[in-house]
Structure 1
Amino acid sequence: MKEKTRGRLRLLAKVVGGICVALVVLALVLATHTQIIVGAIQELSAGTVKTTNTFEPEGEPVDAVRDNGQRIITEIAYADEYPNSFLDITYPDSDTSVRRPTLVYFHGGGFFAGSKSVGDPLASSDVTSLLDDICAAGYNVVNVDYGLVPDCHFPVPVIQANQALAWCDSHADEYGLDMDDVVIMGSSAGAIMASQLGAVITNPQYASALGIEPQLEPSQVRALVIDDAPLVYDKFSLATKVLIGNYVSGTIFLSKEQVHVYDATQWVTPAYPPAVLLGSEYHNDMRAMDAALTRSGVVHELIDPLAERGLKMPHCFVASERTDKVARDAFERMLAFLTDQAA
């Protein structure tokens, strides 16, 4: 009887051991082939948010005045090398001859989803109303799409962002854009891009590391708005490592050099543009950027409700500025900072 029991225990141990080994192997496969996970998420999200790449516009181009009086021109091709290379422009009113600052915006979505039309599916608030309100505050808003994984990996979206800035600069007169007074803003994934663009434009070593020739001079950029960007890779949660690791190289195991090139906090110089930092889910990353900007003497403001008020706010909370008092305060502080940086 004892021998039978021992035999059963040995068999059970082998079965459990086999299961554990299989789980470890599965975990390693998923960790080193992150598109398996991200691709499954894209499949589940298909039909509800944009998760695809295309060389065709999302919809029919529109040039119209909205009910709120703002003029919008949509589906303008800014390049043709990579997918989703389209942008929209919104003006406060129908008169495009008025000289106004230009705010260039990049949406979020983990580099696997999202678009200029619907914003970031990972954020819990309405980015389209945020952009409308920024426009109403006196900005011409350029809302830019870019390529998603698995077709486009870092630094392709940053290259596309640079192409969009180049298009705006070369078509400034045609579209009534003041490209000598530019604000670059992004949320979540787009905020990563905004932080990297700030380094591309002001740090020749970083531009060289990405193989990008910057299309704007530092003097053309009034400020950056970096809205809740995950930047410090080694401190990420596993879920964030899956998304960002997949975007950078298809694995969570990034090399030191890959992390170094990805993380804009490591490329800040005194020439970096003035910046507004909005921290909520990624408040620690925004604090790291705050520290980097402080060390370099860059004018900036960190808006961190957790540190300031003890409040945990949702990802990219400022987009709730129409309905939430904390978000509204952040929105007004952001606009005040941008006004202060005007030439």
Structure 2
Amino acid sequence: MKEKTKRRLRLLARVVGGICVALVVLALVLATHTQIVVGAIQALSAGTVKTTNTYEPEGEPMDAVRDNGQRIVTDIAYADEYPNSFLDITYPDSDTSVRRPTLVYFHGGGFFGGSKSMGDPLASSDVTSLLDDICAAGYNVVNVDYGLVPDCRFPVPVIQANQALAWCESHADEYGLDMDDVIIMGSSAGVIISSQLGAVLSNPEYAAELGIEPSLERDQVRAVVIDDAPLVYDEFSLGTKVLIGNYVRGTIFLSKEEVHRYDATQWVTSDYPPAVLLGSEYHNDMRHMDAALSEAGVTHELIDPLAERGLEMPHCFVAAERSDEVARDAFERMLAFLADRTD
């Protein structure tokens, strides 16, 4: 080989090596500073999805009867310590004196986006129709907003969820809410909050770990609906680790203690509320929760289309219950489970 050719090969090797080193360094920076990635997503989503934190309501608060006959009261401040501390209440009709179970719902959005009115930008279906149909089945629906990253990381949204429950409890008579007959539900990021809230209300050690004094007694909560929650961190894909790691501490390299603190499956006791589990994209996580609930002797039902039908369903598939047969079946089974446990 000629010396000139060897020099070119050595130069090429150095260039390729330099590129590889640069890529490794870039990957490490992104892995240890995940908000760079998530912030870029937030910037790209701005204008189409709520990605910001504010101490002002989304819109002008209103109290109105919608075309479907349901009454909605919007943008009620439930606290003022953290941003986005607002909730909406929807009733099946204009008569708020009727005693109905209260379903408290937390939206998804990877903890970087979404809102009570816009739903989850990562889900395949609009959750608005799902909540309308739950309301029509006889529930007063409390739809809760919470703070987003980077300002609000774990466990702030769980603290906010507990604050929302406290507000509902203290304003139950004023707003016609039965707080002795409560369902807690969420989707995606929102159901991570819901699953953790179930542990806070039923496990004093977990409540102390997060520094939360539960706003409700465990017996007031009749069930938790866990709709496709990513919980088992060590089994996450890289993309999910970026979102969840960013929510927990701004890095994908979480300690065992941080993972333990995050994962509600590790805090289940026999007092955990009865639960409906809906598995699709995160069906493995729902199976882990199923195992934890079974071991603790907690009444629950796992709805897993992959195991039951061999069908891979999209993230939070139950929101498609108006148009998809499998989603409709899951929706009806969920309602039947809740009906058996509410007054």
The TM-score bracket by the shorter chain reads over 0.9
Structure 2 Cα separation of the partners of residues 234 and 340 of structure 1? 35
Match of 1:80 in 2: 80
SS in 2 for 1:151: coil
**Stretches of structure 1 lacking an aligned partner (at least 5 in a row):** none
1:206-245 Cα distance to aligned partner (Å, 9 max, x none): 0000010000101000100000000000000000000000
Is 2:300 the partner of 1:296? Answer: no
SS in 2 for 1:135: helix
**Stretches of structure 2 lacking an aligned partner (at least 5 in a row):** none
| Paired residue type of 1:57 | P
Alignment of 1:39-118 (within 5 A): 39-118=39-118
Structure 2 Cα separation of the partners of residues 184 and 70 of structure 1? 20
Match of 2:149 in 1: 149
Stretch of structure 1 that moved more, 2-11 or 165-174: 2-11
Structure 2 Cα separation of the partners of residues 22 and 268 of structure 1? 44
- The percent identity for this pair of structures is 87
SS in 2 for 1:184: strand
Structure 1 Cα separation of the partners of residues 129 and 4 of structure 2? 70
Match of 2:21 in 1: 21
| Paired residue type of 2:187 | S
Structure 2 Cα separation of the partners of residues 342 and 186 of structure 1? 18
SS in 1 for 2:93: coil
Structure 1 Cα separation of the partners of residues 296 and 76 of structure 2? 37
| Paired residue type of 2:172 | A
Deviation at 1:282, TM superposition (A): 0.3
TM-score normalised to structure 1 length: 0.99
SS in 2 for 1:118: coil
Stretch of structure 1 that moved more, 6-15 or 264-273: 6-15
Match of 1:273 in 2: 273
Deviation at 1:193, TM superposition (A): 0.5
Is 2:252 the partner of 1:252? Answer: yes
Alignment of 1:115-194 (within 5 A): 115-194=115-194
Structure 2 Cα separation of the partners of residues 289 and 250 of structure 1? 25
1:143-202 Cα distance to aligned partner (Å, 9 max, x none): 000000011000000000000000000000000000000000000000100100000000
1:21-51 Cα distance to aligned partner (Å, 9 max, x none): 0000000000000000000000000000100
Structure 2 Cα separation of the partners of residues 88 and 223 of structure 1? 21
Is 2:227 the partner of 1:227? Answer: yes
| Paired residue type of 2:54 | T
Is 2:311 the partner of 1:311? Answer: yes
Deviation at 1:342, TM superposition (A): 2.4
Match of 2:261 in 1: 261
| Paired residue type of 2:4 | K
Deviation at 1:118, TM superposition (A): 1.1
Structure 1 Cα separation of the partners of residues 229 and 216 of structure 2? 22
Supply the RMSD in Å over aligned alpha carbons. Answer: 0.6
